[in-house]
Structure 1
Amino acid sequence: MRSQTVDHVALLPLYVAAATAVLALLADLFTGRRPVILGVTVLGAIATAVCALAVGPWDPTFCVPGGCSWVPTRPAAVTAALFAALTAGVLAFAAPTLRIGAAPVGEYCFLLACSMTGGVTVAYAGDLLTLIVGLETLTLPLYVLVGLRRYAPAERPSARPAAASVTFFLISVISTAIALLGIALNYAATGTVHLALLGPAATPFAALAGVGAALLVIGLAFKVAAVPLHAWAPATYDGAPVPIAAYLSTASKLGGVVALAAVAARLDAGAVTSALAVLTMTVGNLVALRQTRMVRLLAWSSVAQAGYILAALAMGAPGVPAALAYAAFFVVLELIAFGVVVALRPPVTLIPTAEQSEADGGTLEDFRGAARRHPWLGAAFVLAMAGLAGLPPGLAGLFAKMSVVESLVAEGWIWLAAVVVVNAVIALAYYVRVSALLYTVHDHPGIHVADPGLLYDATHPRHRVATPIAAALTAATVVAVVLGFAPQLLLNALT
């Protein structure tokens, strides 16, 4: 048995991610200086990504005959690097708020680094138990991070962070219990938890294995906010600090997709997954049409995008490459969208004052005309919205949707491909609306001026965008543009 040998080089990305969390805690303990703590965590996230990409596929570790618990493959390395990059991006978005003391920077950085460690574990997981441990490590710190903004506007009690955090926690506990029950039933039917050994059970246990697979998919569907396990997402996104909402919508969702892809590639749960896909994309798009708050609109858009990913996973193993590629494109575009929201909303403290009553993403009207004051931010936001809608110039999103539809048609899932196309058309309504809003101004009857800029809202004065936010947005936008022109680079890396 090879279980007695451990390849520590293959475990290096996990070691670096865990060390980042420890160093952030020590930096807070011994220095207490915000720039030092933030710098250590960002450098640790970058080092994690570099290690994941630099350490090539080595001999699998923690193995038993036929199965391994830690599988260092190229797709795992790319996914781990993506988790680390998303963590660094979110820290950059939060940097201005952390520097003015609006959040406990030590706890903030430590918890994000712990969550990143969970994401790295999910990427390399080779069995169901390691997968669940990684997902819980990814999710547990987010319960606290969601509640860091302890106050909410009195006129919107539903956005109270404490309530959002408790809702997130309770639904997560239930979903994890369902997933564990599914693992137990599947183990009883097949006698294994290793992904490489999963497959159709013997005839006497086929029904039991089918129930276990269905429960496992339902439990994991919570992580991607699939309908009907989506109730936590809008309230949690709206109640959390905007950078944490960005992390929930990108890294947390990516973890759920990777876990579902690992299960869907080996277990027969196509009927359950396709039903979840139809419900998720349809409900997400229809409810997004009625949203008036920016973060809630992005939350419901994220729900709908999860439906497209589930549609690819419904095919089983043939749809996994398209699903992973779609998820990677989606998280990059979603990070840009949330980054623009953070940049256009001036940094505020956690305790709202008369002058700082909004510590969240604001309403759609708050962004009216903002792109005319900040043209580059407006261009980045339009790129993200176009990509999420599957339109040029968001070529990355266009390629992602085409890959899903093409895979569905090739495998004979014509009806599901048609549902994806119809929902993509429905989504155009709110993506185009919110993009156009950034370039329009209020209509003031009876007032005629030569410069429409004179009619801008006072909510959008021209203000300087913090350097960390600008750097993270620039990097994410460049990646989105490159992937739009060369999507095969990512697709090859994930297969």
Structure 2
Amino acid sequence: MSIDHVALIPAYIAAGTALLALVMDLIVPGRRGPVMVVTALGMGGTAAAAIWAGVAGEHRASFCVGPDRCSLVLDPAAAIATAVFAALALGALALSVPLLRTGQVPVGEYSFLLAASLAGAVVLGGARDLITLIVALETLTLPLYLLVGLRRGNRDGAAAAVTFFVVSVASTAVALLGAALVFTATGGVHFGDIAAGRVVPEAEPLLKVGVVLLLTGLAFKVAAVPAHAWAPATYDGAPLPVAAYLSTASKLGGVVALLLVGVSAARPVLATSGWTLAVLAVLSMTVGNLVALRQRRMVRLLAWSSVAQAGYLLAPLGALIAADGVTPLLVAAVVGYTFFYVVLEFSAFAALVAVRGAGDGGAIADYRGLARRSPWLAAALVLALAGLAGLPPGLAGLFAKVAVVRALLGGDATWLAVVVAINAVIGLAYYVRVGAGLFAAGPEADGAGTVAYQTGENGAAQGENLGESRRRVPWPVATVVGVAAVLGVIVGFGPELVMRAAGAFG
């Protein structure tokens, strides 16, 4: 077995960052700054190492037992995925400043868990066999159970963590059963061996059942129906920075896993893979949009919207039903939409943290009149909501939906393109309702629903409804909001940059 340690450098840095955060917390107990700086540098180093070794360097692979039988690779696609994961983790850490100032969450453990989740994400991007894929996914997810319920004395967070854990365990069991059936039918765990199609006719039904179960279990990570029930309760019970990371990094990880299994590995049974993903897409779009119409809490609305967005993410792969093979357009549409979604969703959560602090998203009614109290925050939130809806000025989201419909029409899946269009129209109702409320008449001088960040004598951040004159957003949070909003505008006016990078995944 050959091992290329250069290919493992991003994983080494991510895992080392997690350990270093704990050590730094022991060296300077009770001080947030050094721990957060070390963690942030490690996350930035992970992204830089991935770009250097994967994009600028040559194709590298590790844990190889033969040609095209490697468990981990670092190619441009894996490097790009790693860089995005690291950027999301770094953004979540910056958004956590108000939460960590309150003292409700220990900074050492929090930083360790966030970096440990990143280590799993780094391995996931380069996984090329079923065992590595599932282990990496669980490494990405396991720290999130604790992050959701880490706040001291918060019962909602504990209940959300238990819900997340129970549904995740059930979904993992389904995925493992599917992986076992695939191995039984093909005799291999490497994606290259499975895709080679060396399956006796008697074992083909077993392979089809295994692929269906594996894809259904992995759909949990993108909060697709039927493995979606955890998302609303978990997002709403978790601290907002954790919800931001969970709704983006976990979604990205799920998409990567579904592409690797449903497209790369399942080539002998592409029609089965296509039907499975098409059904998941239709159910997710429809259920997510219809339930989102009735939501009254902001985070729960974003959670159900995330379920619907999972349907849009998976929809292009439904064209595998009629396609003779995997086309670059289908993969590029999925990857491109995923990137647009990640930017816009993270931007929306960042705006919520800037408005209300890191603890609770509050009711939708609390955001009425935000445009008069905080015009720039309202602008950032409107841009994110418009993008998720596919409306101008959110050109990134508009282009993403156009790319999905184009891929479906090009793949002779017109019926699925019609379903996407209908659900996009349904989704306009709740996005427009929330966006319009930001400009409606709201609380006046009392500043209700707007958090004032003030640092007391003990250094803790206190959020109070004190009015706009005393409101001050911490600079790390303001930086994330600004960067996410600018990035959303850039990719909206230059979507070809994203689609060109998405071609690396084809």
TM-score, normalisation: structure 1:
0.91
Q: Which residue of 2 aligns with 1:494?
A: 502
Q: Which residue of 2 aligns with 1:350?
A: none
Measure the CA separation in 1 of the matches of 2:352 and 2:126.
32
SS of corresponding position for 2:283: helix
Q: Which residue of 2 aligns with 1:281?
A: 285
Q: Which residue of 2 aligns with 1:294?
A: 298
Q: Does 1:234 align with 2:224?
A: no
SS of corresponding position for 1:315: helix
Is the 1:84–1:116 contact (alpha carbons within 8 Å) kept by the matching residues of 2? yes
Is the 2:333–2:404 contact (alpha carbons within 8 Å) kept by the matching residues of 1? yes
Q: Which residue of 2 aligns with 1:172?
A: 168
Determine which of 32, 35, 38 is the counterpart of 2:36: 38
Q: Which residue of 2 aligns with 1:431?
A: 431
Amino acid paired to 2:21? A
How far apart are residue 129 of structure 1 and its match?
0.9
Gaps of 5+ in 2: 321-325, 451-466
- The farther-off stretch of 470-479 and 311-320 is 311-320
- The farther-off stretch of 296-305 and 95-104 is 95-104
Is the 1:38–1:95 contact (alpha carbons within 8 Å) kept by the matching residues of 2? no
Aligned length: 465
How far apart are residue 150 of structure 1 and its match?
4.2
How far apart are residue 396 of structure 1 and its match?
1.2
Is the 1:441–1:455 contact (alpha carbons within 8 Å) kept by the matching residues of 2? no
SS of corresponding position for 1:290: coil
How far apart are residue 459 of structure 1 and its match?
2.9
Q: Which residue of 2 aligns with 1:101?
A: 103
Measure the CA separation in 1 of the matches of 2:128 and 2:138.
16
Q: Does 1:367 align with 2:346?
A: no
Is the 1:222–1:230 contact (alpha carbons within 8 Å) kept by the matching residues of 2? yes
How far apart are residue 457 of structure 1 and its match?
4.6
Q: Does 1:342 align with 2:339?
A: no
SS of corresponding position for 1:90: helix
Is the 1:369–1:456 contact (alpha carbons within 8 Å) kept by the matching residues of 2? no
Measure the CA separation in 2 of the matches of 1:459 and 1:277.
35
SS of corresponding position for 1:160: helix
Determine which of 484, 498, 502 is the counterpart of 1:476: 484
Amino acid paired to 1:274? A
Determine which of 20, 23, 37 is the counterpart of 2:20: 23
- The farther-off stretch of 483-492 and 9-18 is 483-492
Is the 1:368–1:438 contact (alpha carbons within 8 Å) kept by the matching residues of 2? yes
Matches within 5 A, 1:53-452: 53-56=51-54, 57-65=58-66, 66-152=68-154, 160-199=156-195, 200=197, 201-266=199-264, 267=266, 268=270, 269-316=273-320, 317-318=326-327, 319-346=330-357, 359-442=359-442
- The farther-off stretch of 311-320 and 427-436 is 311-320
- Alignment deviations for residues 18-54 of structure 1 (CA, whole Å, 9 cap, x no partner): 1110111111111122111111111111111111111
How far apart are residue 149 of structure 1 and its match?
2.7
- The farther-off stretch of 190-199 and 34-43 is 190-199
Is the 2:82–2:125 contact (alpha carbons within 8 Å) kept by the matching residues of 1? yes
Is the 2:316–2:408 contact (alpha carbons within 8 Å) kept by the matching residues of 1? yes
Is the 1:21–1:109 contact (alpha carbons within 8 Å) kept by the matching residues of 2? yes
- Alignment deviations for residues 122-149 of structure 1 (CA, whole Å, 9 cap, x no partner): 1111111111011000000011111023
Is the 1:368–1:457 contact (alpha carbons within 8 Å) kept by the matching residues of 2? no
Gaps of 5+ in 1: 153-158, 348-358, 443-452
Amino acid paired to 1:62? F
Is the 2:18–2:116 contact (alpha carbons within 8 Å) kept by the matching residues of 1? yes
Is the 2:373–2:447 contact (alpha carbons within 8 Å) kept by the matching residues of 1? no
Q: Which residue of 2 aligns with 1:12?
A: 9
SS of corresponding position for 2:319: coil
Is the 2:224–2:307 contact (alpha carbons within 8 Å) kept by the matching residues of 1? yes
Determine what percentage of the aligned residue pairs are the same residue. Answer: 57
Is the 1:340–1:377 contact (alpha carbons within 8 Å) kept by the matching residues of 2? yes
Measure the CA separation in 2 of the matches of 1:15 and 1:379.
39
Amino acid paired to 1:323? V
How far apart are residue 454 of structure 1 and its match?
3.8
Is the 1:389–1:424 contact (alpha carbons within 8 Å) kept by the matching residues of 2? yes
Amino acid paired to 2:388? L
- Alignment deviations for residues 213-272 of structure 1 (CA, whole Å, 9 cap, x no partner): 000001001111111111111001111111111111000111111101111113131111
Measure the CA separation in 1 of the matches of 2:28 and 2:368.
43
Measure the CA separation in 2 of the matches of 1:115 and 1:491.
27
Q: CA RMSD in A?
A: 1.5
